[in-house]
Structure formats: structure tokens, C-alpha cells
Amino acid sequence: MRCLIRILALCWALVALAASESLLADLKKRRDASPVLAIDTAQFDQIVANPTRSYAVLVLFTSLGKRYQCEPCSRYKSEFELVARSWLKTAPANVRDQLFFLSGDVDDMHPIFNRFGIQSIPLPYYFPPGANATPNGWATQPQSLDLNRVGLAAEDTVAYMQSHLHLPLQLARPFNWRKIGLVALASVVGLLALALVIPRLSLTAVGKNFWSSACIVFVLMMCCGFMFVRIRGAPYSVNGPGNQPIYVLRQLQSQLGIEIQILASLYAVCGACCVALTSRVPRIADPLKRNAAVVVVTLVLILTYSFTISIYAMKNPAYPFRLLL
């Protein structure tokens, strides 16, 4: 009888081992197509909740659909994919197949979200392998990464994985050649413009106009959150669901680089309208043209200001003021 029980236990162990090896081979095959594997509830139970699992997983609980309008989820998606690609490039070959990156959307994994009591997304969650399969030094307990505290940049996630999960990972962020090219082009154009314009201006005019313009640009940039974006390392722009660009994040504590330019442009238009109404328009000799200019400039001022405070309302729904929009 004991011999029969041992034989059955051995057969069960062999079947479980074969199933685990088959699952691991399938994960490797899927990873070749995409570094982050999308999963649903059934796949979560099969891949993550598998008691014979010999590999670790980092699951990103997120929502990329239009139902929840999760803009941080859209921002973090590309950063999480960069971390996954960096693991494949920089992790030692002997442990590269012992960590997989998964992504589960709330629409596809609602029971799993309830099971773990997830209230805030995006949320990366680390699940270690079995006790006998954990590589030396790796974290042996499940852990979640609080992105509100850690940060949404890939550098922040990698730093956490190194310090808390003890994973041998280095970030491999590719060069942004498009950004470098634009900066180089803008620099060349700016230098050429200065070379052409400065010789034709007197030193007095250059000093007065140049420094007043520089001060105005500096004040506008600072008032629109340049240092906030710089300190947090926020991206210039992100894409939302359907790969559509997002220009304004609907969160009070988050801001994109492009928002600085949008707000600075709106402030500049409002300021120019006020200057025109007080110093330029009154100099128009023709009463009809002067009145028409007053109406046009006032309409531009009202519309621009309305759009400006509508952006405030987008970022903070509790903002009480509205004008036209």
C-alpha cells in the first residue's frame, strides 16, 4: 500500500513538473513577442497562483480603457515596458528566465483586483517564486510598489527593484534621437537668428529688448510649473488609450512638459491683449477702427482666459470658477 502511494505521488510530481516546464516554455515564447505579457483572471491563476511556480513575476495592475480614464496608467505603461526590456538586456543569463513581467487590466481581472483589495492603480506587484526556487538574495515575500511614493519614472522602479527586491537589473533607456535632433536644430536656428539680428540693432536696443523679453519668458515658464516638472522628471508628453496624445493630465499633482508651453502661451496671449488694450489700441486715430480693435482684442482676451481656467478645472474638478467654457 505504501509503495502504491509513493508511486502515485511520484507520478503526480512528474505530471506537475511537466506542466510547469510547459508553462515556462510558453511564457518564454510569448516574451519573445512582447516583454510584458497581458493576462486575464484565468491566466493569473495559471501563471501566478500556480503552487509549482519556479519563477518570479512582476504584475502591473492597471487600467488602459476609457472607462476609468487612468492617465497615470497610460504614462506608466511605456516606463514599465522599458523596465521589462532592460531586464532582458542587462540581467545575467542564468536568472533571466526566472522573472517575467505581466500586465493585467481591471476590465479583464476584476476578481483578482478584489482578491488583493487593490484600490489605487497603476500598481506593480512582485510575486516571488517558491521557497526552494528563489535565487540567492532575491526578496522572498510578495511586495507592491507604491508609485505615489516611488515615482512613475522607469529609473524609480529600477531603483526600488534593486534596493528592496535585490534584483540584478540595470536600466537601459535608449537615446531620444528625436529630442536631440530638435534641440540641435533649435540651437542652430537660434544662433543664426542672433547672428543676423544683433549686428543690425544698437547696443541699447539689444540690451533693453533682449533682457525684457528674456525676463518675460523666464517668469512665464516659472509660473507655469517648469521647476515642478523638472524636479519630478515628468515626461514631455504621453499617449493615452488608442495611442492618442494627452496634452493635459487630469490630476492636480501631475503635470506634463507640454502643459508648461500651453499655459505659458495662454498667459502670454492674455498679457499681450491687456498691453494692447491699454497702450496700443488708444493710439488708433480712426474711431471706427479703434472700436473694432477693442471688440476683437477683448474677445480674444475673454476666450483665452476662459480656456485657461478650463484647464484648471480639468486638473481640479473642485475648481469653482468658469467663464464661457
| 321-300-221-279 Cα dihedral, nearest 10 degrees | -120
Distance CA 99, CA 218 (A): 47
Domains and CATH numbers, the chain: 2-163 (3.40.30.10), 177-315 (no CATH)
Q: How confident is the model at residue 295 (pLDDT cuts 50, 70, 90)?
A: very high
In angstroms, the CA 267 to CA 83 distance is 38
Q: Specify the pLDDT at position 154.
A: 85
Please give the model's pTM, rounded to 2 decimal places: 0.56
**pLDDT value at 163 more than 90:** no
Single out the residue of 18, 17, 46 nearest to residue 30, CA to CA: 46
CA dihedral (84, 85, 91, 93) positive or negative:
positive
Q: Which pLDDT value is given to residue 3?
A: 52
Cα angle 27, 31, 36; round to 5: 105
Q: In degrees, to the nearest 5, what angle opens at C-alpha 271 toward C-alphas 207 and 257?
A: 85
Q: Do 296 and 281 form a contact (C-beta atoms < 8 A)?
A: no
- Tell me the three cell numbers of residue 116: 488583493
DSSP per residue, 118-166: --SSSEEEEE---TTTPPTTS--S-EE--HHHH-SSHHHHHHHHHHTS-
- The reported pLDDT for the residue numbered 298 is 92
| Residue range 231-287, pLDDT digits in tens | 777 788 777 766 678 888 877 777 888 888 888 899 999 988 998 889 888 888 888
Q: Which three cell numbers stand for residue 161?
A: 527593484
State the DSSP H helix or E strand holding residue 39, giving kind and residue range, or none if neither: strand 36-39
Nearest to 98 by CA among 64, 65, 139: 139
Give the other-Cβ count within 10 Å of 1's Cβ.
Answer: 5
Where does residue 82 rank: exposed (0-12), middle (13-18), buried (19+ CB within 10 A)?
A: buried
277: which DSSP letter? I
pLDDT at 21: 60
Which one-letter amino acid corresponds to residue 151? G
Residue 296 has pLDDT above 90, yes or no: yes
Mean pLDDT across 20-46:
79
Lowest mean pLDDT among 4-13, 118-127, 148-157, 307-316: 4-13
More confident residue, 132 or 78: 78
Q: Which of 161-165, 168-172, 202-206, 292-296 has the highest mean pLDDT?
A: 292-296
pLDDT of 206 reads 59
Please give the full DSSP string across 168-215, using - where no structure is assigned: -----PPP-HHHHHHHHHHHHHHHHHHHHHGGGS-HHHHHHHHHHHHH
Task: Tell me: pLDDT of 131 over 70.
Answer: no
All cell numbers assigned to 110: 476584476
- pLDDT score for 181: 82
Q: Hey, how many other C-beta atoms are within 10 angstroms of the C-beta on 233? A: 11
